């Protein structure tokens, strides 16, 4: 993405999180929207954007199941 990437990082009280990161200066679609974009435009958009959501877990070297871990 580069050193000028932009995005959001969200933590919730119940231990979930969401992150979105994109290239700072993404190219716009010529037609003005994703659904009307060309195959090349949509491929470029996918290369310039990452999103992930979930619940972090802390894996311990024991027989017990993983437990949720909240960031400090």
Q: Report the pLDDT value the prediction gives residue 31, as an integer from 0 to 100.
A: 87
Average pLDDT over residues 55-69: 60
pLDDT band at 62 (very low <50, low <70, confident <90, very high): low
pTM for the model: 0.59
Report how far Cα 32 is from the mean position of its chain's Cα atoms.
23
pLDDT 10s digits, 4-58: 899 999 988 888 899 999 988 888 888 888 788 899 999 988 888 999 998 876 6
Q: Report the pLDDT value the prediction gives residue 27, as an integer from 0 to 100.
A: 84
């Amino acid at each position: 993405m580069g050193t000028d990437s932009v995005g959001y990082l969200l933590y919730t009280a119940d231990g979930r999180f969401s992150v979105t990161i994109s290239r700072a200066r993404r190219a716009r679609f010529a037609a003005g929207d994703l659904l009307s974009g060309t195959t090349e435009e949509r491929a470029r958009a996918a290369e310039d954007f990452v999103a992930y959501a979930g619940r972090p877990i802390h894996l311990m070297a024991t027989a017990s199941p993983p437990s949720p871990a909240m960031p400090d």
